[in-house]
Amino acid sequence: MNGSSVHKTATKEFRNQWIDFIYQLQDDICKALEVVDGKAKFSADEWQRAEGKGGGGLTKVIQNGNTFEKGGVNTSVVYGHVTSQMMKVLNIDNNKRPSSWFAAGISSVIHPQNPFVPTVHFNYRMFELYDIDGMLIDRWFGGGTDLTPFYLFEDDAHHFHFTLKNACDKSDAALYPLFKKECDDYFVNTHRDNERRGIGGIFYDHKRADEHQDIHLLQGLAINCGYAFMDAYIPIVEKRKNTVFIQQHKHWQEIRRGRYVEFNLIHDRGTIFGLKSGGRTESILMSLPATVRFEYNYQPQPGSEEDKLWQVCLHPREWL
Amino acid sequence: MNGSSVHKTATKEFRNQWIDFIYQLQDDICKALEVVDGKAKFSADEWQRAEGKGGGGLTKVIQNGNTFEKGGVNTSVVYGHVTSQMMKVLNIDNNKRPSSWFAAGISSVIHPQNPFVPTVHFNYRMFELYDIDGMLIDRWFGGGTDLTPFYLFEDDAHHFHFTLKNACDKSDAALYPLFKKECDDYFVNTHRDNERRGIGGIFYDHKRADEHQDIHLLQGLAINCGYAFMDAYIPIVEKRKNTVFIQQHKHWQEIRRGRYVEFNLIHDRGTIFGLKSGGRTESILMSLPATVRFEYNYQPQPGSEEDKLWQVCLHPREWL
């Protein structure tokens, strides 16, 4: 094999490892969540992109469970020619003469029934660019896992962040503090005095190999954080899922879900780009909660449990 | 008085007529809707823009009524210096050397309890630009009234469009067909195969005086269409508000309200511009329905009453 073939083979192997990982994680998480739920099962929709566009995805959705009201765990593996719209949106350097691209990722949002169980979201993705000869010219990773409780349990917040910190630390102990801050800075309803969607977690984007982290370390980071989802989230669900709740708690959950909808539809780059660039709408909007409430100027009673949660959304805290 | 003073006095008079109109219409509509509701009253919030920004508004909201689940009728009268962000967003011609601006309008969204009563929206606004000497250099009107039923009653659709056509015809018989089409082209969820938000009505923007319509005719158009709201909508409410409904109808109403939320937060220029430019969030988002539902890949049974409504959203019709 010549140098170019060796290079292409290595790229293909790396890509396949990543694809294997996202499918495996999707499968593992769906099984684990079904066990927790005890009633509902994930249904699967395999979809292909429209003619002339390469790739597709596997959308797995759970609805009306004992524990989970609505949730999805989606994978997609897509590729195509670089278009001028894409160059602009992704801010791609034209000097690199990119010709084609590849993207694969896993994303999930889980909305529980019980208002004492938090909503959770995670997403891990890899993006590659190739020149006209199919040689890799750029590659980056993005991802994150964040929690949206309706009532604040400090030990849950600590457990969630601690588990994600441990996952990050396996790659580099410098990462968690950076990713924690990026998360707090990203999931923000700027139109509501910078109220956060929840109590955060980790978030990163456009992570490329550099002198600090080689590409295998970045892939390992995503794999470790992806698998940490189950350790971070499921114990909280088990602990809270049988807590007795009344209409007042459900009402507050639906109000907070309204903020979730606002963030996803007004601010979330992935959602807006996906919807406006012809992504599969039902897979993208699986992130929206089943029942939601919008009331004019609703504010919790100062000092109430609802207010306590609201205050940590307005003023993000360190949990570790 | 010199020519410049005469000009400024005329501009001020025109502006004041418009302000008088929006306050009067707000008052008249709130009173009329309270009579229809029979239980809930509008509450009023007067607000001022943040320090250094001129003007404010009057937000009137009705909630938890017999007939109306949530609704608002808002007026705002705002002004300020032209900023570079504004020049860009509003596509203002720099050659005109604009220095300050003025905008005043009325907008309303009413979400009824009963799924056989449609949701309705209207908005009429005027925008002016001045040079450094305070001389008017540009002025335009925008507006529209549109209906979002959950079940299709062809006679209601006909009545609604017919009433708006009559209001337009008082100014110019050429307008209704143009505005009807603009409405069908504007309230579109492009991410859902161009599904419309409802069965339309009229919509127009950036209407300036020209050889066909002088500025008084354009002001008259907005006034006639604004007042036609009550004739267009209230008879439909009276006719349908006591129709017996079951959970299935409410479910479908909440699903369709989800599409309403999607349109307003993803596509509506006024909502997005308002939220991103520091408008009063609670007044802007009063447009969102109280209870909303998002289900994965929900589709009505072909041939059902729900499907009949869905089909006219996918394929807009002529109603007259």
- Tokens 């708690």 — which residue? A249
Angle between helix axes A154-169 and A175-186 (nearest 10 degrees) is 130
Maximum alpha-carbon separation in chain A: 70
Q: What is the pLDDT of residues A193-221, one digit of tens each?
A: 999 999 999 999 999 998 888 999 999 99
- What average pLDDT does the segment A130-151 reach? 96
Beta strands (DSSP E) in chain A are: 43-48, 54-63, 68-81, 100-112, 119-130, 136-148, 188-189, 195-196, 200-207, 291-293
Asked if A150 and A249 touch (Cβ cutoff 8 Å), the reply is yes
In whole angstroms, how large is the CA radius of gyration of chain B? 20
What residue type is assigned to position A304 of the chain? S
Indicate whether B52 pLDDT > 80. Answer: no
Q: Do B293 and A290 touch (CB under 8 A)?
A: yes
Among residues B72, B134, B124, which one has the least CA distance to residue B103?
Answer: B124
Render pLDDT for A124-139 as a digit per residue (tens, 0 to 9): 999 999 999 999 999 9
A27 pLDDT exceeds 80?
yes
Summary mean pLDDT of chain B = 95
Nearest to A296 among B61, B190, B295 (CB): B61
- pLDDT beyond 90 at B97: no
Chain A residue whose CA is closest to B190: A276
CB contact under 8 A, A290 and B294: yes
* Chain B nearest CA to A224, separation (Å): 29
- Percent of the residues in chain A that have a pLDDT greater than 90, as a whole number: 87
Query: Which residues of B lie closer than 8 Å to A, measured between beta carbons?
Result: 45, 61, 63, 70, 72, 190-192, 254, 258, 261-262, 265-266, 272, 275-276, 281-282, 285-286, 288-297
Question: Looking at residue B238, what DSSP letter applies?
Answer: H
Distance from the A210 Cα atom to the nearest Cα atom in chain B, whole angstroms: 35
Residue B236 sits at the vertex; the CA angle it makes with B232 and B241, to the nearest 5 degrees, is 145
User: Quick check: A184 and A196 in contact, CB under 8 A?
Assistant: yes
Comparing B210 with A227, the larger pLDDT belongs to A227
Predicted confidence (pLDDT) at residue B19 exceeds the cutoff of 90: yes
Name the minimum distance, in Å, from the CA of A295 to any CA of chain B: 6
How would residue B4 be classed by pLDDT, with cut points 50, 70 and 90? confident
Q: Which residues, in sequence order, are CB contacts of B150 under 8 Å at separation 6+?
A: B115, B116, B118, B119, B249, B252, B253, B256, B309
pTM, two decimal places: 0.95
> What positions of B carry a catalytic annotation?
121
> Residue B74 forms beta bridges with which residues?
B59, B107
Nearest CA distance, B270 vs chain A (angstrom): 13
Give the nearest partner residue to B281 out of A191, A261, A281, using CB atoms. Answer: A191
Asked if A288 lies within 8 A of B258 by C-beta distance, the reply is yes
Mean of the pLDDT values across residues B290-297? 97
Amino acid at A275: L
Q: Under DSSP, is residue A167 helix (H, G, I), strand (E, B) or coil?
A: helix
Instruction: Find which of B255, B295, B298, B299 to mutate to test the A interface (most A CBs within 10 Å of its CB).
Output: B295
Q: Do A261 and B266 touch (CB under 8 A)?
A: no
Contacts of B82 (CB under 8 A, 6+ apart): B92, B98, B99, B100, B101, B129
Domains and their CATH numbers in chain A = 3-314 (3.40.1500.10)
Whether B275 contacts B283, CB under 8 Å: no
Give the one of B72, B191, B296 whose C-beta lies nearest to A61's C-beta.
B296
- Summarize pLDDT for B77-92 with one digit per residue, the tens: 999 998 887 787 777 7
Q: Write the residue in B70, B262, B281 that is nearest to A265 by C-beta.
A: B262
pLDDT, average across residues A68-84: 94
As given in the structure block, the two tokens for residue A171 are 């790659």
Q: What string of H, E and C letters represents the secondary structure of A88-145?
A: HHCCCCHHHCCCEEEEEEEEEEEEECCCCCCEEEEEEEEEEEECCCCCEEEEEEEEEE
d(CA A286, CA A108): 9
| B214-262 residue pLDDT tens | 999 999 999 999 999 999 999 999 999 999 999 999 999 999 999 999 9
Chain centroid to Cα B249, Å, comes to 26
Please give the average per-residue pLDDT across A154-168, as a whole number.
98
pLDDT band at A1 (very low <50, low <70, confident <90, very high): low
B45, B275, B292 member nearest A292 (Cβ): B292
A261, amino acid identity: V
Nearest to B110 by CA among B78, B62, B151, B152: B62
* Predicted ipTM > 0.85: yes
pLDDT at residue number B300: 97
What is the predicted pLDDT for the residue at B1? 58
| pLDDT score for B231 | 98
pLDDT at A273: 86
Residues A291-316: tens digit of each pLDDT: 999 999 999 999 999 999 999 999 99
Comparing alpha-carbon positions, the chain A residue that sits nearest to B286 is: A296
Residue closest to A45 by CA, chosen among A21, A65, A73: A73
Mean pLDDT for the stretch of residues B281-293: 97
Nearest CA of chain A to the CA of B182: how many Å?
Answer: 21
pLDDT class of A51 with cuts at 50, 70, 90: confident
Per the listing, tokens 């909808």 go with A261
Mark yes or no for CB contact A275/B258 under 8 Å.
Answer: no
Query: Residue B292 and residue A296: Cβ atoms within 8 Å?
Result: no
Which residues from A are below 8 Å from B269, CB to CB? none
d(CA B15, CA B306): 45
